[in-house]
Structure 1
């Protein structure tokens, strides 16, 4: 695509510290799309690649003197070198001056600013020139680590979303909910159908056993004339053709014919149920042994311990399912063994006869068969997720959002999902599409008397009158759109009791916070943003039911969390380094143990609840 501008990244080649002429590798961005939603269509081989943790420079020139270049990561560069637009977004103006993005030689660091090294991932580029918008990528390749965590993050997001959808589909069952190896969905789906339809099915099969459908027919036999006989036209024709049958009559006898298409279908379905229930019984026995073994390994725990209680509940339900499956199997075998069923052919007719839909008992049998035979519901992701897979910072954001959802349901926190987002999808349709994580998504959770609203990527209004009880904040600063917010409420009093704010930063920690700059004009926009979330959010609803008008003295945001992935260049940060500003840097990394994250989030939540409890009147 011919463009009226040039975007070129430059990296120094290895060995430039040794003296002599410096050689550069130039990476020109030449492939663009006009719609941001089409970014995922750009092929990897057309995207220029730079290497992480290496000197990186950007050149942006244009025929349009008002052209602007936006790029992920610009918010970490001091505003002296960039501009902000009317939406407070940072951009680079077209210029002959080149912008240094990262200096990896500490002796050459200008003004003490090395900015942050771009870590592996895709970085979005947006150019506005002559009132047209162009989008593209720069890819940063790992230098010292492989891409395992990067790939794992995408896989985990996709698996988690599909797993949540399937959990909702089987939400009426608790079997396997607490197990490390839960019953596979395809088997559990069949068990649920058998359990739910069991009573109606048993009534139908018992009635069919006693009153099967049949057709009355005639069978002709030679009998002695002395018996009570009926002579019809067939008998007369037989005698005329067989004069030797003197003394006998070709007598019609009425019979019941059970070998009808509906009974052939019935026999086929019953044999199918025998095979299915035999397989399910075998699986249930094996799974029950696994649960019993797990229970035995926990014998050091008291029976009332939560882990034992959940395991015992699973064991109880497995036994209940065994009973249902066993009774259905035995009833099938019993009906297959009755005398009239032996006259029915063992074959599957081509078509289901109309009478099977009209007769209530037969209709119940075919209904259950169709339910069992129906393939597993298809679960797919909304196509907008393709954009997340390429733009790594957004992938990290949605991955982190799911970690917060998991953390709130972690046993240390104990919240239960009530509604919102994926938890509101209609699971009755055969095909389930997982909705995109749209801005403004709210998930509601509950534990005891505390309700939590988990809010994703929502702008906070600037005017007090635009705030409400369930949109409790307004902003006194330009920074008003955190990635995630947790709003806490006391359920009984319907009282807002505070918030936690989270922002995902896909970058090294030193590019997020620098204590040496806290009281200087060199604070990056990221530091200003985090401080504004803590200091400049206001709520007239905080503690309103117990302490009216107290809100003017209280900051409703208890803590701001900047969440970032582990990086080899990160120093070790602790909560106490930022306690004065109530800003917590928290590491959250794919393929690593994130137990510390779960525990510290629980501690922060308990602190919010404790402060409110202390303010309650006795």
Structure 2
């Protein structure tokens, strides 16, 4: 034993960093590095042309973190520290706030990296919190149903993205889709969300804005406009989301929706397709005062627990329908059935045009 400056030292005393606290720290940093590498591998699987700007920044940051940790673990002072899975006894690392920080960081990183955000799951849990969320979810389910019926997205909203940047669903949003060969006649769709029908006079309509209205109810939640192969407007399908019970909306007045849906059915009008040059030859068979180009109207509502077996039901005036669309029931067969029946009606209209063509050949 030697004495220096009133301190006693053992003969073989030497400074070391291989202590229990640093062993715990090294294990935590190795686990943090592993999480970072796993996240990097997941991001690398995404094609570069689909990466959002934020994701690219995150990836650059992860590379910086992994580089610093690798240097510290392999070339820094921590390389002198043993790697142990579990330190014997209770280490002071679990009592020192500086070490606890890395312990908490490791736990949070593992928790976040294991979390898989799924919009469908979020909607299933939170759909009942707001009618606006139900409205947005309804629009998404309509696009999903259309894809199931043989329509392919062309452009609009999330289908315009060259990366994964989030695109808010705003009023006036329009997704365009087209048939992929499942129908005899080509149909091009414009699915419009919360879009106001303008103008208010028939004389102001155009090919790109073919509808006008004669009612204050002129802003349905979802409007599906159908066009032919030459982009001539043919007809429209109206869907309105109603976050309420059927018995509370199946009447007239402020509490009900029958008046509103009737207005969509009979007071959204268009002179097309007969105003277009290629269709003017059919004016001989078309009554000028019959400009009702709305095929059908339906209200989407959550329904009751036993409504998943319900068939398409008509509201009081028998001019519009109600469809149960509930996040608890993954099957949207009623919506698909309604849309399929509407497209069948449009197919019949195309067939009628062909018959008129045959008849006009003799003149």
> Is the strand fraction higher in 1 or 2?
1
Show the counterpart of 2:210. Answer: 472
> Is the helix fraction higher in 1 or 2?
2
- Following superposition of structure 1 onto structure 2, how do residues 219-258 of structure 1 map, counting pairs within 5 Å? none
Contact 1:380 1:433 in 2 (8 A): no
1:75-133, Cα deviation, whole Å (9 max, x unpaired) = xxxxxxxxxxxxxxxxxxxxxxxxxxxxxxxxxxxxxxxxxxxxxxxxxxxxxxxxxxx
- Following superposition of structure 1 onto structure 2, how do residues 523-562 of structure 1 map, counting pairs within 5 Å? 524=255, 526-543=257-274, 544=276, 545-547=278-280, 549=283, 550=286, 552-562=289-299
Q: Compared with structure 1, are the counterparts of its residues 570 and 418 closer, same or farther at alpha carbon in structure 2 (3 Å cutoff)?
A: closer
Show the counterpart of 1:409. Answer: 147
Show the counterpart of 1:509. Answer: 246
Long gaps (5+) in structure 2: 1-39, 49-73, 76-116, 359-363
Q: Compared with structure 1, are the counterparts of its residues 460 and 399 closer, same or farther at alpha carbon in structure 2 (3 Å cutoff)?
A: same
Show the counterpart of 2:168. Answer: 436
Contact 2:313 2:323 in 1 (8 A): no
> For 1:507 and 1:475, how far apart are their aligned partners in 2?
26
1:307-337, Cα deviation, whole Å (9 max, x unpaired) = xxxxxxxxxxxxxxxxxxxxxxxxxxxxxxx
Shift of 1:591: 2.4
Shift of 1:600: 2.8
Contact 1:416 1:446 in 2 (8 A): yes
Contact 1:408 1:414 in 2 (8 A): yes
- Aligned pair partner of 2:303 in 557, 562, 566: 566
> For 2:290 and 2:142, how far apart are their aligned partners in 1?
29
RMSD, aligned α-carbons: 3.8
Long gaps (5+) in structure 1: 1-184, 194-347, 350-378
Contact 2:301 2:325 in 1 (8 A): yes
Contact 1:537 1:555 in 2 (8 A): yes
- Following superposition of structure 1 onto structure 2, how do residues 375-394 of structure 1 map, counting pairs within 5 Å? 392-394=130-132
Shift of 1:560: 0.6
Show the counterpart of 2:16. Answer: none
Give the 3-state SS of the residue equivalent to 1:561 in structure 2: strand
Structure ID, larger Rg = 1
Shift of 1:407: 0.4
- Following superposition of structure 1 onto structure 2, how do residues 124-139 of structure 1 map, counting pairs within 5 Å? none
Q: TM-score scaled by structure 1?
A: 0.34
- Aligned pair partner of 2:161 in 421, 425, 446: 425
> For 1:414 and 1:188, how far apart are their aligned partners in 2?
32
Contact 2:258 2:315 in 1 (8 A): no
Contact 2:271 2:291 in 1 (8 A): no
Give the 3-state SS of the residue equivalent to 2:322 in structure 1: strand
> For 1:191 and 1:434, how far apart are their aligned partners in 2?
16
Contact 1:380 1:434 in 2 (8 A): no
> For 1:530 and 1:567, how far apart are their aligned partners in 2?
21
Q: TM-score scaled by structure 2?
A: 0.56
Q: Compared with structure 1, are the counterparts of its residues 186 and 495 closer, same or farther at alpha carbon in structure 2 (3 Å cutoff)?
A: farther
Aligned residues: 237
